[in-house]
Amino acid sequence: MPKLYSGAEIVFKCLEDQNVSHIFGYPGGAVLPIYDELKNFNSIKHILVRHEQGAGHAAEGYARSSGKPGVLLVTSGPGATNAVTALTDAYMDSVPLVCITGQVPTHLIGTDAFQECDTTGITRPCTKHNWLVKDINDLPEIMHKAFEVATTGRPGPVLVDIPKDIQFQKTKYKNYQKVKKLNGKSHDNFSQKNIDDLIGLISKAKKPIFYTGGGVVNSGPKASELLRELVYATGFPITSTLQGLGCFPADDNQFLGMLGMHGTYEANNAMYSCDLMINIGARFDDRITGKIDEFSPKSKKVHIDIDPSSINKNVKVDLPIVGDIKSVLTSTLKTLKKSKKNFSKSNKHQISNWWEKIQKWRSKRSLDYIGSDETIKPQYAIERLYELTKDRDAYITTEVGQHQMWAAQHYKFNKPNRWMTSGGLGTMGYGLPAAVGVQIAHPKKLVVDIAGEASVLMTMQEMSTAVQYNLPIKIFILNNEYMGMVRQWQELLHDKNYSESYTAALPDFVKMAEAYGCVGIRAKTPEELDDKIIEMLNTDRPVIFDCLVDKQENCFPMIPSGKPHNQMLLGPKDQKEKKITGKGRTLV
Amino acid sequence: MVNSKSAYSVAGKKQKNDTHIIVVWVDNEAGVLARVVGLFSGRGYNIESLAVAEVDQKENISRITIVTTGTPQVVDQIKLQLKKLVPVHKVADFKREDKNVIFKEMALFKFVANSEKLIKAFKACKNFNPVVLDETKKSKVIQITALRREIDKMSKNLTKFGLVSVSRTGAVAMTRGSDVFK
């Protein structure tokens, strides 16, 4: 007679078999049996957060920085609904999460019981799949299937809802067998003909560009290596989306910087004027394309993506290649090397005019800003932070807003998995808990959350988590007392009517840090900034760094609303000449 | 739109809408219909009619037939998004005009009238396989099977014969000939 295990034990046995070492969670009535088992499984460490949204973002930070799925464990009702923001965030940005929720006992489901909610109903649109476990015998299979769905194909969040009585019931535990065939949900669907067509386009192109995204990160570190190889082998310029930063070294000459609404002048103009666009693992998001009717009008477009539904969703492409980036790039490089030796040399002449043009755009120096001796410019703060941390292989998370864009523009990433930001959903409050998760995955590394004072207040309670587990995360707040991006748009579009975008009663962040039992540092002038940053880096404890920056600074360059890529706003001076009017106001 | 303060881009050029019949084979499990229908409502796709029932008890497969309208791009997205759902096995897509596919809907009509009108009502249905399911001296329930627009037309024309109630199903579809959709 095989040993029988309770549902709660099975949850942990599955986590063990899936090599899960950390889970983020918060206990409550409907998950108590699972929490009771925790003591018997030493290989799994539980991180107690202060709010379930924090558990979700921490799991996201953990997953993105480590490449492993993030796991969170929360209770029924409010526990589950609090996790919804993080699940949606993970869904938009393709982060593998497994969320385990407790549920009221099966006989109470549908009776409006205490802390009952329709968890699977609520999370259906924000997960890849979810399960309500109604029979204990299904639990082992569902748990393993959950990991499989979360991590294969285009990754994403899944949820397993386990009623309390199921957690007590017993059954046999079947060991887990990895299935090769995956129900047709994830596959490399491309053929050698696709690759040959791609090589054909590459060899004919006079004005090519690589446009890469988060899919490269999701395909694993090997994909980034292959991407670099391909970019060097072709000599083509490359631009990246917000999520793809780090896949290609930002200080390399072939890198044009980020593209899109706050991308560089050279990247956006190159996208507009190119004759061949090779999209690798990006999804033609509306922040990238701007006005879709005028998006890169003269180019042949290639789209490499693992998710067939991403292809032709927003932009019609000429050559779709459905597959894992790693395998597509491997085949492409193999074919390129075989058919065209020394391609980058032989092709140099063909794209030399193109590079000249790009250099001209580059000479506009679109990321420049007007410096100051008196106030700290936010861009300057990020530049200094980068200079003082660039040799330390730092992991950067952000909140959402101006500081996020400045971080993307001025912090130069050279490796994948070092940059964690909420792109698709744009969740204020993402960065602090994400930093907690990143630090858990990389205990010895430097983890900095580049934050805004408004965003960080949304999940500030997680500082308490950082203190509890001695996680020396650095919260680098660019404090301008405004919801900066909101204020910027109100300035540009709504006649400077700063409706509700000023926070009048901010806490004293230094005192707040002390109240949490961590370290508070404040920088007020450019002169003292370096010393203060060094002080922060030398502190082996969690730090809240209150960097008082210029309150009026706006984030440039910027594609003004309703305009195509070749009409960018470059800075305060340029702004007066190209006032946004009419239809443009609808595009933020 | 000129003075709109909304935060997103203006819509691009509109393409022509076509009617498509989408057939989806799914695992017959709790919540599967909600997943399919939720995908339509969540992404703003139309559902004109819907028919669903288990077709294979052994394999536990249900067949969902959805009539929808959309531009070619939208219909492609519908298919690709449906294929991503975990319980979905396969998705077929037929155009309404497709000669190789049979579409049928069933309707139940209840007439309350004098016998003369009731006879006329039955006669009016004669092209659509009418079956009398229930009959009293002053009423009749007639079942017909036909195309959507035929039933639409019938419902309008039959009021003069004492039509008081209509109940109808969504469309179901099947290919002609010996071919089976794989």
Contact state of A586 with B35 under an 8 Å Cβ cutoff: no
A460 flagged as catalytic: no
**Count of beta carbons in the 10 Å neighbourhood of residue B8:** 11
Q: B13-45: per-residue pLDDT in tens?
A: 677 899 999 999 999 999 999 999 999 999 999
Q: What is the nearest CA distance from A188 to chain B, expressed in angstroms?
A: 14
Contact between chains at A562 and B31 (C-beta distance less than 8 A): no
H-helix or E-strand spanning residue A255: strand A255-258
**Which residue of B2, B5, B6, B10 to mutate against A (max A Cβ within 10 Å)?**
B10
Q: How confident is the model over A344-372, as a mean pLDDT?
A: 93
Q: In 3D, which of A483, A367, A465 has the Cα closest to residue A26?
A: A465
> A494: which chain B residues are within 8 Å (Cβ-Cβ)?
5
Q: How confident is residue A574, by pLDDT bands cut at 50, 70 and 90?
A: low
Asked whether residue A176 carries a pLDDT value surpassing 80, the answer given is no
Q: Is A558 a catalytic residue?
A: no
Res A587: pLDDT? 44
Share of chain A above pLDDT 90, in %: 87
Predicted pLDDT of residue A346: 87
Contacts of A124 in chain B (CB under 8 A): 31, 34-35, 38
In the structure, what pLDDT confidence band is assigned to residue A279 with cuts at 50, 70 and 90?
very high
User: Considering only CB atoms, which residues of chain A are within 8 Å of chain B?
Assistant: 120-121, 124-125, 128-129, 132, 134, 149, 183-185, 286, 290-293, 307-309, 311-313, 316, 493-494, 561-562, 582-583, 585-588
Q: Is the pLDDT of residue A424 over 50?
A: yes
What is the 8-class DSSP label of residue A126?
G
Q: Which residues of A touch B31 (CB under 8 A)?
A: 120-121, 124, 132
Residue A240 scores a pLDDT above 70: yes
Distance (Å) of CA B58 to CA A142, A437, B28, B62? 21, 45, 11, 11
In this prediction, residue A570 carries a pLDDT of 84
Q: Is the dihedral of CA B43, B45, B51, B54 positive or negative?
A: negative
Taking CA atoms, what residue in B is nearest to A146?
Answer: B86
ipTM entry:
0.88
Query: Helix, strand, coil proportions of chain B in percent (round to 5)?
Result: 30, 40, 35
Our CA angle for A221, A225, A227, nearest 5°, is 110
Distance from CA of A115 to the nearest CA of B (A): 21
Question: Which of B3, B80, B86 is closest, CB to CB, to A309?
Answer: B80
- Which pLDDT value is given to residue B1? 37
Give me the catalytic one of A405, A463, A485, A536.
A485
Confidence of residue A580 (pLDDT cuts 50, 70, 90): low
pLDDT for A174 = 81
A322 to each of A149, A296, B40, how far by Cα in Å? Answer: 18, 22, 24
Nearest CB to A586 within list B1, B81, B86:
B1
Q: Cβ contacts (< 8 Å) between A286 and chain B: which residues?
A: 8-9
Cβ proximity of A50 and A71 under 8 Å: no
Of the candidates B8, B38, B83, the beta carbon closest to that of A124 is on B38
pLDDT on residue A180: 55
CA dihedral A526, A532, A537, A539 (to 10 degrees): -170
A115 flagged as catalytic: yes
pLDDT digits (tens, 9 = 90+) for A452-461: 999 999 999 9
In Å, how far is B73's CA from the nearest CA of chain A?
7
Task: Answer yes or no: A145 catalytic.
Answer: no
Coil vs helix vs strand at A581: coil
So what's the pLDDT on residue A37? 97
Query: Looking at residue A1, what is its pLDDT?
Result: 73
Query: Is residue A114 among the annotated active site residues?
Result: yes
Residue B2 has pLDDT above 50, yes or no: no
Nearest CA in chain A to B13: A293
Residue from A138, A187, A309, A495 whose CB has the most chain B CBs within 10 Å, to mutate: A309
- Chain B, nearest residue to A494 by Cα: B5
The one-letter amino acid code at A132 reads L
- In chain B, whose CA is at the least distance from the CA of A490? B5
pLDDT at residue A181, rounded to an integer: 52
Give B8's contacts in chain A (Cβ within 8 Å): 286, 586-588
The predicted structure's pLDDT at residue B8: 65
Residue-level pLDDT at B14: 73
Task: For the beta carbon of residue B133, count every other beta carbon within 10 angstroms.
Answer: 12
* Mean pLDDT, all residues of chain A: 93
Closest partner CB to A562 (pick from B3, B9, B80): B9
Minimal Cα–Cα distance from B85 to chain A, Å?
A: 7
Structure-block tokens of residue A558: 């910027």
Residue A582: is its pLDDT beyond 50?
A: no
Residue A309, min C-alpha distance to chain B (Å): 5
Whole-angstrom CA distances from A566 to A291, A352, A370, A388, A491 are 11, 21, 23, 35, 23
**Residues A412 and A250 sit within 8 Å (Cβ to Cβ):** yes
B14 touching A (Cβ < 8 Å): no
Whole-number pLDDT of residue A584: 46
Burial degree of A203 (CB within 10 A; 0-12, 13-18, 19+)? middle
Mean pLDDT computed over B127-156? 94
Predicted pLDDT of residue B4:
42
Which chain A residues are Cβ-neighbours of B6 within 8 angstroms? 586
What residues contact residue A228 under an 8 Å CB cut-off, 6+ apart?
A248, A249
- CB-nearest to A309 from B4, B35, B84 is B84
The stretches of A430-525 forming alpha helices (DSSP H) are 431-441, 453-456, 463-468, 484-493, 509-516
Number of C-beta neighbours around residue B179 at 10 A: 8
What mean pLDDT comes out for the span A17-32?
A: 97
CB atoms closer than 10 angstroms to residue A322: 19
Q: Is the dihedral of CA A282, A477, A418, A238 positive or negative?
A: positive
Residue A235 has a CB neighbour count (10 Å cut-off) of 18
* Contact (Cβ atoms closer than 8 angstroms) between residue A472 and residue A439: yes
The token pair that represents B174 in the structure block: 């099947």
Q: What would the pLDDT profile of B89-98 be if each residue is shown by its tens digit?
A: 999 999 988 9
Angstrom distances, CA of residue B178 to CA of B22, B61, B104, B174, B175: 20, 21, 19, 11, 8
A586 closest CB neighbour out of B10, B38, B73: B10
* Cα B51 to Cα B69: distance, rounded to the nearest angstrom: 16
Residue keyed to tokens 């030398």: A538
Q: Quick one: DSSP state of residue B43?
A: T
pLDDT per position as a tens digit, B95-113? 988 999 999 999 999 999 9
Nearest CA in chain A to B3: A582
Helix (H) or strand (E) holding A279: strand A276-280
Nearest chain B Cα distance for residue A178, angstroms: 17
Per-residue pLDDT at A559: 85
Query: Is-contact B167 B142, C-beta < 8 A?
Result: no
| pLDDT given at position B9 | 65
CA dihedral A473, A478, A480, A481 (to 10 degrees): -10
Specify the 3-state DSSP secondary structure of A118: coil
Question: What are residue A505's phi and psi, to 5 degrees?
Answer: -120, 65
**Taking CB atoms and an 8 Å limit, are A124 and B6 in contact across chains?**
no
Q: Which of B133, B169, B136 is nearest to B151 (CA)?
A: B169
User: CB of B180 within 8 Å of any CB in chain A?
Assistant: no
With residue B166 as reference, give the H or E element that holds it: strand B163-168
- What proportion of chain A, given as a percentage, has pLDDT over 70? 95
The answer to whether B73 contacts A585, with C-beta atoms less than 8 Å apart, is no
Of B5, B31, B35, the CB nearest to A585: B5
For residue A388, the model assigns a pLDDT of 98
| CA separation for the pair A246, A413 (Å, rounded) | 5
- Which residues of chain A are within 8 Å of residue B4 when distances are taken between CB atoms? 585-586
Contact B13 A293 (CB under 8 A): yes
How far apart (Å, rounded) are the C-alpha atoms in residues B34 and A124? 9
Nearest to A586 among B6, B13, B42 (CB): B6
**What average pLDDT score do residues A138-150 get?**
95
pLDDT of residue A5: 96
By mean pLDDT, which of A96-100, A364-368, A576-580, B34-38 is the weakest?
A576-580
Among chain B residues, CA nearest to A148: B86
- Return the pLDDT at A179: 61
B8–A586 C-beta distance less than 8 A = yes
User: Would you place residue A560 in the very low, low, confident or very high pLDDT band (cuts 50, 70, 90)?
Assistant: confident
Is B80's Cβ below 8 Å from some Cβ in A? yes
pLDDT (tens digit, 9 = 90+) per residue, A496-552? 999 999 999 999 999 999 999 999 999 999 999 999 999 999 999 999 999 999 999
Q: Which of A164, A326, A377, A474 is catalytic?
A: A164
Residue A284 has pLDDT above 60, yes or no: yes
Chain A touched by B31 (CB under 8 Å): yes
